[in-house]
Structure formats: C-alpha cells, structure tokens
Amino acid sequence: MVVDLMLCSNWAWFGVRAAPVAWLLLGLLGLLRPRGLRFVAHGLFPAGAVVGVALAVCAWQALAAGSCAAVLPLGLPELPMHLRLDALSAFFLLLLGGAAAAVSVFSAGYFRAGEGTAPGLLALQYHLFLAAMAWVLLADDAYAFMVAWEVMALASFFLVTSQHRVPEVRRAGFLYLLIAHLGAIAVLLCFGVLQGGSWQFTFDAMRRAQLSPGWASVAFALAVFGFGAKAGLVPLHAWLPEAHPAAPSPVSALMSGVMLKTAVYGLLRVGFDLLGAPHWSWGAALLALGLFSALFGVMFAAVQTDMKRLLAYSSIENLGLICAAVGLAMLFDGSGQRPFAALALAAALFHCLNHALFKSLLFLATGSVLHATQQRSLGKLGGLIRRMPWVAWPTLVASLAIAGLPPLNGFVSEWLLLQAFLVSPRLPLAFVNMLVPVGAALLVLASALAGYVMVKFYGVIFLGRMREPQLAHAHDAGWFERVALLALAGACIGLGLLPALLLERLNATVGLLVGSAATRWGDLGWLRAGAVSAASFSPLLFAAGIALVMLGGFAAIRRLYHGRVSRGAPWDCGYPWQDARMQDTAEGFGQPIRQIFEPFFRMRRHLPSPFDASPRYEVTVEDRFWYLLYRPIAGAVERAAGLVGRLQQGRIAVYLLYGFATLVALLVLVL
C-alpha cells in the first residue's frame, strides 16, 4: 500500500514515480530478444527517450508545485522505503530526463551488433542505470538511497565494461567499482552519523536530529569524501580518465552528464537540508577543494592526446567549479549572507544543467567520430568538418558553450559564479575576504584554460587537413544521432539566450536550501539575467549585437571585394612539399601548458638515439597522485594480502589448529 502526502500536482507526482518503473520494464523487455539489435535500437531506446521527455516535463511542473511524499511497502521489516519529490530532487530529475532523452535517441543509431555486450542485455543495463539514478533522486531514507546508489554503481560498471574481453577495459572497470564502493562506504557512515542515535533512518528523522558541531563536521566530511569520489574530485578522480575511454560514448555521456550530478545532489541534500545551516568553515574547505580540482582537471585536459580522456579531465574541471560554487554558497550562508548564498547556489545549479547538456553532446560527438574513423587519438584526426558537418557544427556549439563564451549557456553560469565571487568582500570574515579574491582569479584562469582546451579539441579534430588517408572515407552521423546532437545544441543555445526562464524556476530550489531570501530574478524581466544586487546583462541583445557585427562584416567584405577574390593554396613559405603532418598537433597545443605547469605533472621523456633507424622524441604525461597515493596503497594491500595468504596451508590439521586457537582466545576474552 502506498501512502501519499500530496502537496504538488497529481499528474506530475505520478509521472515522476512512473518513470523509473517504465525504464526498468523497458530494460526487462530487452531480455526477450537479447540478440535483437533492431528491436533494441528502434524500439527500446526510442521508448526510453519518450520516458525521459515525460520525466523532464513532470519535473519542470513539480519545480514550482510544492512537495510530495510516499511510503512504499518495500524494503526490510520496520524499514520501508520512503520517496519524496521536492524542488531539489525535481531540478535534478529535470536534468536526468532531458539528458536521458537525447542520449537514448543517439543510442538508437549508435550501437552496433558484435560490439561487446549483447544488445538486449545492454538495454537492460542501460535502462536500469537510468532507473537507479531516478530512484537516488527520489529516495527519502538512507536505506532506499543506498540501495539505489549501489544499483547505479553496478549498472554503470557493467556498461563501462561492455568490451569486457579487452584487459584495459576490465582494469578500468575494476578501478571505477573500487572507488565507487569506497565512496559508498563513506556515504553509509555519513548517514549513520546523521541519525544522531535515534536509529531512525528517514531523512525527516535526520533533519530533526540534534548533532554537536563536531559530529556535524564529521558527517559533512564523510559526505564530501563519499560524494566527491563519485563526482571525481581530486584526489579521488583517478577512475574518471580510465573509465570514460573504456565505456561506449553514450554511456560516457550519461556518466559525465548525469551520474556525476547525483553526487552534487547528495552533497546539497546533506550539506544544506539534512544538516541544516552549514558552518562557514565547511564552505571554505569545499571551495578550496573545488577550485583545486577545477585547475587540476583543466591542466591535464590541455595535455591529453586521447579525445575521451580529454573530456574526462574536462569533467573534473567542471565538477570542481560546481563544488566551488556550492562551497561559496555555504560560506555565504554560514556567514548570514543568504542573498549572496542564493546567487552562488543558482550558479551551481545552472552549471549542473549546462554541463549535462554540452558535455553529453561532446561525448556523443566523439562517439560519432570514433565510429566513422575508428580513431580516438587526436594525432590521427583532422579536417572532419568536410566529411562530418552534421557532427561538426553541433560540436562547435558545445565547444563554445563549455569554453564559457556568450551568448551560450556556459557563459551564464560562469558569469553568475564570478558575480558571487565579486560580492565576497561583504563577508564578515576578514581573513576569508583576503583569500576569496584568489579563488576568483583561479576561476578566471580555469575558464581561460577551458577555452584553450576546446580550441585544441575542436581544431585538431575538425579543422585543418586530414592527418590520415583513411579519414577521407569517414561517414557522417545517422539520423538518430543527428537529431540528438541538434537537440542538445539547441538546448545550449536556448538556455544561453533565455536564462531568466530557468532562473525564475530555480527560486523554489534555492529557497528550499537557503531559505526565502532567494534572488529576485523576475525583477529583471525575461530579457535580462543576473543578480539585482550585483550586475545583469541581456543575452538576447548581446546575441543580436554579435549577429549584426558579423553580418555587417560579411556584407562589407562582399561589397568591397566581390569579384576580386580568388581561391588558392595557402602560401607555403617557398617550401612546396607541405603535407598534413606539418600542421599543428595536439602535442604542440599542449606543450606551453606542460612547460608552465610542469611541477603538476609527472613526465617521462624518451630521448632518441642517434643510431635509431627512425629517431623519435616522446613525452609521457602522468598523474602524480597515481604514484604518490594509489600505487603505495595498492602495494600495501598486496603485501598484506600476501601475509594473510600464508594462513592458507592446504592442510586440515592447520585449519583445526586455527579453530582451536580462536576458541581459546574467545574464552579468555569473554571470561
């Protein structure tokens, strides 16, 4: 029996609850025809996209329609599962539904027969992954949350290891699963602290628990560790650049665009909702961690030569910016500056949705390039804009958006975050006031480097000349893929031109977390975006100005030079034997960053011998955290396992001796 507490729209509440069930049923239908690629591609994936659209519509309605709660007759004795839909979960369900719809449409044209997991089983894992993420966002007790969290981790693990016959893929999947479970243990311990001795594990009971400042800080630290492992914050980021290249591109899009945001959701739920008013020191620590992760991620993205690893490190950068915005909101809220906390929180939420859109688009585009060329290395691509225009132009929109250029959506969220940094001198904390401007400088540096990375990514793949002869046979994306790419590109443009519509809806979410002192976005009108107390701009007028300048420039050039323009090969400086390998490379783009930030990298150089038949200079850039943190821990665990393994002698007499010694020890300790 389901017991409802109805305060929101009946149809929205029903639609939100029905979406994970529908996805689960679609996944189970895949088992009816496990080898039926056409049935999965043209039936189940489009149906999953319809469910995603319905979920997004219901979540949009629920954003401003109150809250709903239900108790399900599932779970353990005396511990049923609780569900709740409020403004926070509705926003992330909107993000999930929109991204899942586009990725599902793309998947309908992407997956091929004979690529790893059977199509029907892949459909089960895919839709189970979507259903688990929706369940995480609806869970209203620790039991339901942890069950959904673990199902999400296991489903994504099987999706990452779709090509399980490749040893590198298996290693990447194992690393991901290991860090995911370490984070899950931390989240479980966090809930154990939050219940405060009441042994009631509903979120309502945790809100009522009275924790001492010390235990509250312990709970927040566990939440940062647990959810930070899922979000890929440094130093828990090691799984991201390994798992994304191993996973199919639609899976990478969902993991980076949506799954990482469930960690942000958990951090917001614990930090603002379950713990109550956050302490300013929590915000300062999270702000520092987020900014360091952002700078670390964008620096490593700049030196990558694998396009999916580049995007993986870019996700670390963007999640770092989001967590920095959340930390700044906590800093303001803990200092009593709630209007400015609302501004920083709105920037974080807006960037969550932005990142879900343009990073999903970028990963899907790499999937189309990978299918068309069988190449993932940037050094073997180039000039694909002529062979794949339907992929190149939406990718250009996403590249400009993630670089934070107006009038696209990435600019809006980064601009709002910068405005929040600029009002930080109003904090009543002199020491923090001196340090926060440094954070603003790091934000600007990370944004500038992100633009640098996107110039490298787009320019090396789509512009210039084709670096390999076989690229001339590359084919453009199919119609399902084109629809998905154009829909995501259109969403990036729409949110950039009309951000006030979303900001007005975000008032309910922001008000839930920091109180009723939300920024009055509506006072600026739908033509403008920004904070009333700081600054604002008009995206539509800005876009119109850019369009007028460009059209005026083209008209002037056409009028002045019409009939006098001739086409020819570019000047070769008197050297007529230019070829495709003489243009700028991915390594050349990354060299300045390697030189400037060399202490952050672990670089191994291979100097060629003058006696080599084909001398070649090579530089390998590696992560210092892998050798400073992960390798020592792995070595210690391996040595401990070796010591424990000596207990297994294979002789029954030795095992009986172990049992006798254990019995004696227990008798001594008990008596």
Taking all residues of the chain, what is their mean pLDDT, rounded to a whole number?
84
Q: Where are the beta strands (DSSP E) in 231-368?
A: none
Tokens describing residue 669: 């300790």
Rounded to an integer, the average pLDDT of 599-608 is 73
**Is the pLDDT reported for residue 138 higher than 80?**
yes
Whether the bond between 235 and the residue before it is cis, its omega within 30 degrees of 0, is: yes
Name the pLDDT band for 603 (thresholds 50, 70, 90).
confident
Considering the domain architecture, whether residues 542 and 627 belong to the same structural domain is answered as: no
Under 8 Å CB-to-CB from 87, ≥6 apart: which residues?
62, 63, 64, 67, 508, 509, 511, 512
Question: What mean pLDDT is predicted for residues 190-215?
Answer: 86
Give the pairing of strands 601-606 and 79-85. Answer: unpaired
CA-to-CA dists, residue 396 to 164, 384, 493, 609, angstroms: 33, 12, 12, 42
Q: Is pLDDT above 90 for 54?
A: yes
Token readout for 68 is 């709903």
Residues 527 and 601 in one domain: no
Which residues, at least 6 apart from 318, have a Cβ–Cβ distance to it below 8 Å? 294, 297, 351, 355, 359, 402
**What is residue 4's predicted lDDT score, i.e. its pLDDT?**
46
Same domain, 392 and 540: yes
Q: Provide the pLDDT for residue 321.
A: 93
Q: Is the dihedral of CA 577, 583, 587, 592 positive or negative?
A: positive
Residue 249 gets the label, from left (phi > 0), alpha (psi -120 to 50) or beta, of alpha
Poorest-confidence range of 25-34, 150-159, 418-427, 477-486? 418-427
- Section 152-173 average pLDDT: 89
Do 647 and 523 lie in a common domain? Answer: no
- Measured CA to CA, the distance from residue 79 to residue 95 in angstroms comes to 30
| Contact predicate 89/148, CB 8 Å | no
Within 562-611, where are the H helices? Answer: 586-596
Number of domains in the chain: 2
Helices first, then strands: H and E counts in the chain: 25, 7
The percent of the chain in helix, strand and coil, each rounded to the nearest 5, is 70, 5, 25
Per-residue pLDDT, averaged over 435-452, amounts to 86
Looking at the structure, tell me whether residues 398 and 521 fall in a common domain: yes
The answer to whether residue 114 is domain-embedded is: no
Query: Which is more confident, 668 or 254?
Result: 254
Tokens of 450: 């992100």
Split at pLDDT 50, 70, 90, the class of 280 is confident
CA nearest to 126, candidates 37, 38, 45? 45
Looking at the DSSP assignment, which residues form a beta bridge with residue 5? 69
Residue 9: count of CB within 10 angstroms of its CB: 17
User: Does residue 620 share a domain with residue 507?
Assistant: no
Interval 425-438 mean pLDDT: 74
Q: How confident is the model at residue 56 (pLDDT cuts 50, 70, 90)?
A: very high
Is residue 99 included in any domain, yes or no? no
Q: Distance between terminal CA atoms of the chain?
A: 50
Of 587 and 636, the structure prediction assigns the larger pLDDT to: 636
Name the H helices within 30-141.
37-39, 45-62, 87-110, 119-138
d(CA 509, CA 425) in angstroms, rounded, equals: 26
Name the token pair of 409.
């959506």
Q: Are residues 529 and 603 in the same domain?
A: no
Considering the domain architecture, whether residues 499 and 380 belong to the same structural domain is answered as yes
- pLDDT at residue 180 tops 60: yes
Secondary structure of residue 464 in the 3-state scheme = coil
The b-or-e profile of 484-520 (16+ CB within 10 A means b, else e) is bbbbbbebbbebbbbbbebbbbbbbbbbbbbeeebbe
pLDDT at residue 106 in the model: 93
Please indicate, yes or no, whether residues 545 and 601 belong to a single structural domain of this protein.
no
DSSP 186-227: HHHHHHHHHTTTS---BHHHHHH----HHHHHHHHHHHHHHH
Can you give the C-alpha Rg of the chain in angstroms?
Answer: 26
Residue that is written with structure tokens 């620790």 in the block: 142
Task: Tell me which residue of 201, 152, 140, 145 sits closest to 176, measured CA to CA.
Answer: 152
| 3-class SS string, 638-657 | HHHHHHHHCCCCCCHHHHHH
Q: Residue 643 belongs to what domain range?
A: 597-608+615-670
In Å, how far from its chain's centre is CA 273? Answer: 22
Top pLDDT among 525 and 320 is at 320
**Tokens at residue 55, please?**
């979920």
Q: Which residue has the tokens 């030189």?
A: 595
Say how far apart CA 495 and CA 44 lie, in whole Å.
Answer: 29
Instruction: Record the tokens describing residue 261, joined without a space.
Output: 């945001």
Worst-scoring range by mean pLDDT, 242-251, 255-264, 409-418, 529-538? 529-538
79 φ, ψ to 5°?
-145, 70
Residue 431 has pLDDT above 80, yes or no: no
The model's pLDDT over 514-538, given as tens digits with 9 standing for 90+, comes to 876 555 555 555 556 655 455 667 7
Same domain? For 535 and 642 the reply is: no
Asked whether residue 492 is assigned to any structural domain, the reply reads yes
Q: How far apart are CA 286 and CA 329, in angstroms?
A: 10
Note whether 310 and 457 are within 8 A (CB). Answer: yes
The answer to whether the Cα torsion of 420, 421, 426, 429 is positive or negative is positive
How far apart, in whole angstroms, are the C-alpha atoms of residue 539 and residue 545? 10
Residue 75 belongs to a domain: no
Place of tokens 């700028």: 584
Domain membership of residue 44 (yes or no) is no
Higher-scoring residue by pLDDT: 270, 163: 270
pLDDT band (50, 70, 90) for residue 651: confident
pLDDT digits (tens, 9 = 90+) for 453-491: 898 899 888 888 888 888 888 888 888 999 999 999 999
What is the distance, to the nearest Å, from the Cα of residue 588 to the centroid of all Cα atoms in its chain?
Answer: 28
Are residues 131 and 51 in contact, defined by beta-carbon separation less than 8 angstroms? Answer: no
pLDDT at 617: 65
Q: Is residue 422 part of a domain?
A: yes
| CA 330/CA 514 separation, integer angstroms | 9
Q: What is the pLDDT of residue 155?
A: 92
Write a three-state SS string for 272-289: HHHCCCCCHHHHHHHHHH
Six-digit token pair at 523? Answer: 């006072």
Give domain status of residue 406, yes or no: yes
**Residue 478 burial by CB count (10 A; 0-12/13-18/19+): exposed, middle or buried?**
middle
Q: Which residue has the tokens 């939406």?
A: 394
Q: Look at 6-10, 478-482, 559-563 and tell me which has the smallest mean pLDDT.
A: 6-10
3-state secondary structure of 85: strand
Based on the domain organization, do 353 and 472 belong to the same domain?
A: yes
pLDDT of residue 1: 36
Kindly state whether residue 233 falls inside one of the protein's structural domains.
no
Q: Which two tokens stand for residue 311?
A: 């995007």
* Residue percentage of the chain with pLDDT more than 70: 89
Shared-domain flag, residues 539 and 653: no
Residue partners of 366: CB distance under 8 A and separation at least 6: 249, 252, 307, 308, 311, 376
